Structure 1
Amino acid sequence: MKINVSLRWYMLALLLTLMVAISAFFSWQAATHFLSGFDVITESNMRNVAREAQLNERGYDKIIGYSVVNNWQHIPPAIKAHFPNQPEQSGTLLKKFDDWIYFAPPEKFYLLMMVELRNGELRYVYRYRDKPPQQPRQFGSIDPMVKILLWGIGIVLVFWLLLLMMLRSIGKPIVALQYWAKNLSAKDLSDSSTQQALPDFRYSELNSLASIILAAFLKVKKTLQREQEFLSYASHELRTPIAIIRSNCALLEKVTPEPSQQELAIRQRLQRASLTMKDMTETLLWLSREQEESLPVEAFDLAELIELLGNELAYLLQGKEVSVQLNTESFTVTASKVACRILLTNLIRNAFQHSFSGEVFIQQQAGRVEITNSLEAEQVNVNAELGFGLGLKLTSTLAKKFNWQYQRQIEEQNHKVVIDFG
């Protein structure tokens, strides 16, 4: 499962990780240079001590903590324990640290260097501590390695605060843009109020994005308005010719009460087409209305309505080897009867129209209606949106408008729709 990550927190984590890596790298560089510099200073001091030492009759002297001898045999056992062999190269520092955690001076250390003077005399400079120091460290003294660590942590914290301030400065307008776009409504929004509806988001890029969103919103609004106007006008305009067709069909029955079989078939086709146009026009007309609260609400028996519609649409099964299994129970629904009739008419008509053999099951329990019809093999392979007509699209839209639970699925050789009027 893909998890969406906030861009703000992603950028914060990315920049903080980068800063931590940079700080760690430069802290490591500082610590490395400090240690190498310490070695350079120690080597220089030991060379100078070897040259400046004034050895006594035993060949020994001590200057600034460094001991100097001119005989390898006078080297203390503690030094020889770590450097058992006599140094072969002059001016090379030999060192050994024990119990050193880098953030404090080593508990034990051993330093040794052989220095050859200009006259060829060999002198050995050494310094060691083979046990922890007895005197505590002075208050307020901080080891240089600890200072490097503290500087690194301090830089990361300062960068963190600056990053939070920056993200807050940038993120606040972005959140405001998100909230504005989310709550943007078509109410009271017109071309004349475009500039008033567009707030200032501080940054030119965000203002440009807001302008694009608003322009797209207005374009969609105009498109929806045109569609609603078309549906409304078309529905109203079509009702008149449809009424004329139906009235003339009824007039033909009175003029010629006993038509021939051929004329009767033509009349029936006209009746079926006019009924289909009438139901579809009513559906489009109701969908073009913006407020469903204006629809009249009444209590009616859902089972009676389903049986009535089944009888009215039975003409769609003429000439087909299709049987209808109707299973209903009396249940009173309080809703818009007109909307329920339009929705059920579309569902039953689609089931009857697209069934060529087998059975159509219409089952109603309480406010739940389930309609299942058999499909041919080629129908199953056809895109469902293309294979079941406009009626089901209108049904889905109508169900959403009235908050009715609607489901549709194709199972093996059956097409099933379920509508719950609650």
Structure 2
Amino acid sequence: MRNGLSLKWVISGSFLCLIAVVLVIYSKLLPEFTVRGLFYTASAMMEEEAQYFLRHYKQDPTTPTPHNYFYTSVIGKEALPQDVRELLTTSPSLSFGAVNIFGDLYSDDDDEPFQIILEQPLGDGKILYMYDIDHDKEAGGEVETPLSDAYFDQVIESVKFISLAVFVPALIIIALLVWWLVRPLGRLVQWSGTLKDPEALTGTRPGFSFKEFNMLADALAKSVEQVQAASEREGRLLRYTSHELRTPLAVLKATIELLALQSGGALPPSLQRIERSVMNMQLIAETLLWMSRERPEPLPEEDVDLSELVGDLIEKHRYLIGNRDIELSIDIHDGPCRLPPTACRIVIGNFLRNALQYAEEGTVEIRFKYPRLMIANHIRETGPQQESDDFGYGLGLQLMRELCAKLGWQIEVIREQQRFTVILDFTSGRGGESAS
């Protein structure tokens, strides 16, 4: 089972969300512009009627003011009804064209209707006030218009049908388009999962309908092929190096043992250094050989006494201290731990060797309480640009990181101003389980 969202559903959901947003915006804007359209009609009718009245008023001031079912008009503010005069003392809710609109335009309360008022100067200092009439308060209420209402309902139904007729086919087309685009992409993803098999690279690559997908498949296959080739070269190099080193190391080890027998068991200091180097190289060669395996076999675990192991490693590497004034501070928890002894000797020996070789005069601390081993040493003060490889933790640390990663151990390196600390955590240390 793959985790995460499917691209098909992401694209489909995005399109659907886009359509939903468009429909929401459309549904919000449609009433707004419908109301504005009605206001435009009212404004145009009242303005045209006012201009027509003004034309005749200039010829005959006794011309009757306009009056019909929808609106009426008077000359002078004093002739207005009391409620209309009070509205003129307030600010209009909306000024639209030639009219001012007072009241809540979008209120559902019929007791708070809005009022449309037009003011037309007549040129003689008088003003024509034209306002709409509210017939709901009259006896019998507003006149019904069943034929017009039926026509309007029919138009609304037609608009709904047209909207569905556009929306449903568009949704089907988008779904088909998404399926048409995502289907080859899904095949590409499925095919890319088979590239770990070398036969999939040499076999015939399936077509993916689109030129861009085919180009992406070619680039992906080429990249995987290059990575596999590099991995094979690296594995061969490790295997060849390890195998080729084991023979001269075995010869050197046998020669040193023979010289030790001839000298009565005690080797001169120069041969002792050679013996220690041969032992270290042999451990590194075995480590590289084990790490080069694609699925390394679990390392055998035994009850390891870390106190005894560290003490033995200190004696073997004490020569690295030389004439420096270095004090060893050792605090190791007694008791056996279930660990692979060879791997412990390689990793701990590497860290201890670097600590003793690159430590400044002072104290080298070695602390262990299962599952954490800490080795810390003082270093010389360096500039910020100096690499930590100067202290022996370059290639050796990288090699130990890879080894511990296969064993499931954790390494933490803390570099402070004049102190270098390495912490080895055996918490998940089950070599066989982690390596597999």
Q: Normalising by structure 1, report the TM-score.
A: 0.69
Contact 1:95 1:112 in 2 (8 A): yes
Distance 1:229 1:126, change over 3 A: same
2:397 aligned residue: 392
Letter matched to residue 422 of structure 2: V
Cα pair distance change 1:364/1:99, threshold 3 Å: closer
Q: Would the alpha carbon gap of residues 101 and 380 (structure 1) be closer, same or farther in structure 2, given more than 3 Å must change?
A: closer
| 2:320 alignment counterpart | 316
- Equivalenced residue count is 391
CA 1:402 to 1:163, structure 2 compared with 1: closer, same or farther past 3 Å? farther
In the alignment, what sits opposite 1:244? 251
Check whether the contact 2:413–2:422 (CA below 8 A) recurs between aligned residues. yes
1:276 aligns with 280
Letter in 2 for 1:414: R
- Kindly provide the amino acid, as one letter, of the partner of residue 336 in structure 1: P
Within the candidate set 37, 40, 44, 2:44 is matched to: 40
State the Cα distance separating 1:59 from its structure 2 match.
Answer: 5.1
Alignment of 1:71-150 (within 5 A): 75-78=79-82, 93=98, 95-101=100-106, 107-112=113-118, 126-129=130-133, 133=137, 135=141
Q: Say which is worse superposed, 39-48 or 132-141, in terms of deviation.
A: 132-141
Shift of 1:178: 9.9
Asked if structure 1 preserves the Cα contact closer than 8 Å seen for 2:317 and 2:353, the reply is yes
Deviation at 1:238, TM superposition (A): 0.7
Q: Which runs of 5+ in 2 are unaligned?
A: 1-5, 90-96, 428-436
2:409 equivalent in structure 1: 404
Structure 1 residue 52 displacement after superposition: 10
Deviations 1:137-187 (CA, angstroms, capped at 9, x unpaired) = 98989999xx8xx99xx89x9599689848964895698489759x94774
Percent identical among aligned pairs is: 23
SS of residue matched to 1:407: strand
Q: Distance in 2 between matches of 1:110 and 1:27?
A: 19
RMSD: 5.2
Aligned with 2:233 (options 223, 226, 233): 226
Deviation digits for residues 314-358 of structure 1 (CA, Å, limit 9, x no counterpart): 232233332323332333233332222222221222212222422
Q: Which amino acid aligns with 2:113?
A: E
Match of 1:357 in 2: 361
Give per-residue Cα distances to partners, 1:52-97, cap 9 Å, x unaligned: 99x9x9957744445477x76994445666679xxxxxxx955443
Structure 1 position 370 matched with structure 2 position 379: no
Match of 2:349 among 345, 349, 353: 345
Range with greater deviation from structure 2 (280-289 or 375-384): 375-384
Q: Which amino acid aligns with 1:98?
A: G
Aligned partners of 2:305 and 2:335 also within 8 Å: yes
Listed one character per residue, the Cα deviations across residues 360-407 of structure 1 (whole Å, up to 9, x for unaligned) are 222222343221122122398632245323221111111111111322
- Gaps of at least 5 residues in structure 1 are 1-5, 85-91
1:224 shift after superposition: 1.6
1:102 deviation in Å? 7.9
Residues 414 and 422 of structure 2 are in contact (CA less than 8 Å); yes or no, is this contact kept in structure 1?
Answer: yes
Identify the match of residue 224 of structure 2 among 206, 209, 217: 217
| Aligned-residue offset at 1:290 | 2.2
CA distance in 1, matches of 2:145, 2:409: 80
Partners of 2:238 and 2:292 within 8 A in 1: yes
